[in-house]
Structure 1
Amino acid sequence: MKMSTKHKIGTAVYHVIVCGIGLIMIYPIIWMAFSSFKESGDVLTTVNQLIPSKFVFENYVNGWAGFAGTSFSVFFRNSFFITILSTIGGVFSSVVVAYGFSRLHFKLKGLWFAIMMMTLMLPAQVLMIPQYIMFGSIGWTNSFLPVIVPEFFGKPFFIFMCMQFISGLPRELDEAAKIDGCSLFTIFSRIIMPLLKPAMITCAIFAFYWKWDDYMGSLLYLTEPRLYTVSIAVKQFADPTSVSDWGAMFAMCTLSLLPVIILFICLQKYIVDGIATSGLKG
């Protein structure tokens, strides 16, 4: 009886601590959401006041109107277009490369794998200038191509994660499929890919979030307002040379979080499976 009571008290204390830490972590998001309903001049002067004294819904109207004759619907459309294509290309290409490293035998396989893993250590800042010079020389600047096309050549983190997953799949599945006359493409598309669903969804969640949140890539290559993504457009509301419309900026920041939050809530169960599970068991 005493142990049961101690266990209940321990569980209650644990949940209180976890909820408290969780509240601290999400408080900035809660503050931003409530600040989107404040007067623009009150956002920074009432930092300690969470609930606005007056709810100003015009911030969302003004923010959605955008700037330079371009509404925020255009920026959301651009972000969705870039993010969805990049996510599909990044995940599919990474799975193909991971399958090749995990199941196929070819010359210098170890060397190519080492080179691929070494790219994980390269800071993004090291690649910015060479990539910009290369894309500028072929006339891709001020278009979506520089921020989409590179994603179709695989991402080392996704390749490594998918390789770990594939390595846990019994090779007997491949051998049985070969006996039945299946080609490598058939084995990959009908056996490996369906089993890789948790890992692929996990990669897709990360890829969607990273590309949706990408600021530097879009800033470097997209110079016209009609091509701006949400991450760049939100920054335009903050003008250090004049009065910044903080209310509209926080309103659009709040809206920009919704796709990521909805995606995470809908697919969160696959994250643990994709990272922790290593193929079939038993």
Structure 2
Amino acid sequence: MKRSKRFHNILYHVLVCLFGFLMIYPLLWMVMSSFKESSSIFRESYRLIPDTIHFENYINGWKGFGGYTFGVFFSNSFLIAIIATIGAVFSSAIIAFGFARLHFRGQGFWFSCVMLTMMLPFQVIMIPQFLIFKQLGWVNTILPLTVPYFFGQAFFIFQNMQFIRGIPAELDEAARIDGCTYYGIFLRIILPLIKPSIVTTAIFSFMWRWDDFFGALLYLNSPAKYTLSIALKMFSDPSSQSDWGSMFAMSTLSIIPIFLIFLFFQKYLVEGISTEGLKG
């Protein structure tokens, strides 16, 4: 029995390691390709480890194009992602508090409208939004990529509502007896208790804005305002030879912020996804 159990444990760990390797192989291939010569990346695609390491891919890639280094593109992406994340997190939390704790006429109707927006493809509203932002003079600015997120996002609103509904309403009543307004209840009681949900929404929002390609492609037309996703696309030129080594090098650098966020905040991410709410 002991030998059989040991064999099953060994087999289990071997299969899990093999499956894990298959899952991260594309990422490893990209990282290793960033140290290869561009001409040999696809010619020797079956080889994971390069014969010689070419650090110049990172140097050449960082130089960017059009007189702008990748430092500019990193700064643009960070600026857009941080502003949009702050707006999405706090506006979604406030709206979720209103739906979960306040009672007003048409509450069910408006909540249904919010949920229906999750089923609406972006392609449906893409042209009307562009025309509105063009009339406002926001094209080629970061405003279309940041301002809309200050009005809440349906997915984050729903997630925060699940957390708030798990918090006993008696806490609100006790705070109201002590003289707290709805704003005080939200800031002093609700907001600290939904910290896992707040961190989870911040992680997802930052990741989605960091990876956003279509929005940046639609509204930004000046190289000085390009984000990382647009800048990486510029390395690929179908009409001529592409500098794949530099592109993979910059792609490797672009995933470092997301990796660090998941590394340091994975505890809150798990708690937020499980929607456990208040423990105790």
Please name the residue that 2:202 is paired with: 204
Please name the residue that 1:51 is paired with: 49
Q: Which among 16, 19, 22 is matched to residue 18 of structure 1?
A: 16
TM-score (norm. length: structure 2): 0.98
CA displacement at 1:259 relative to structure 2 = 0.4
Secondary structure in 2 aligned to 1:233?
Answer: helix
Does the 8 A contact of 1:218 with 1:229 survive in 2? yes
Does the 8 A contact of 1:166 with 1:278 survive in 2? no
1:156-182 CA distance string (max 9 Å, x none):
001001101111100000011011111
Secondary structure in 1 aligned to 2:201?
Answer: helix
1:201-230 CA distance string (max 9 Å, x none):
011111111100000000000100000000
Q: Distance in 1 between matches of 2:121 and 2:275?
A: 29
The answer as to 2:79 corresponding to 1:73 is no
Amino acid aligned to 1:124: F
RMSD over equivalenced CA pairs, Å: 1.1
Please name the residue that 2:188 is paired with: 190
1:59 to 1:184, Cα distance in 2 relative to 1, 3 A: same
Amino acid aligned to 1:81: L
Q: Distance in 1 between matches of 2:279 and 2:193?
A: 12
Please name the residue that 2:102 is paired with: 104
Q: Which among 91, 94, 99 is matched to residue 93 of structure 1?
A: 91
Gaps of 5+ in 2: none
Q: Distance in 1 between matches of 2:153 and 2:245?
A: 37
Q: Distance in 2 between matches of 1:8 and 1:167?
A: 45
Q: Distance in 1 between matches of 2:214 and 2:257?
A: 20
Please name the residue that 1:213 is paired with: 211
CA displacement at 1:275 relative to structure 2 = 1.7
Gaps of 5+ in 1: none
The percent identity for this pair of structures is 56
CA displacement at 1:50 relative to structure 2 = 0.6
CA displacement at 1:241 relative to structure 2 = 1.0
Please name the residue that 2:223 is paired with: 225
Does the 8 A contact of 1:86 with 1:211 survive in 2? yes
Does the 8 A contact of 2:159 with 2:275 survive in 1? no
TM-score (norm. length: structure 1): 0.97
Aligned pair count?
280
CA displacement at 1:22 relative to structure 2 = 1.4
CA displacement at 1:5 relative to structure 2 = 4.5
Q: Distance in 1 between matches of 2:206 and 2:214?
A: 16
Q: Distance in 2 between matches of 1:21 and 1:82?
A: 36
Secondary structure in 2 aligned to 1:238?
Answer: coil
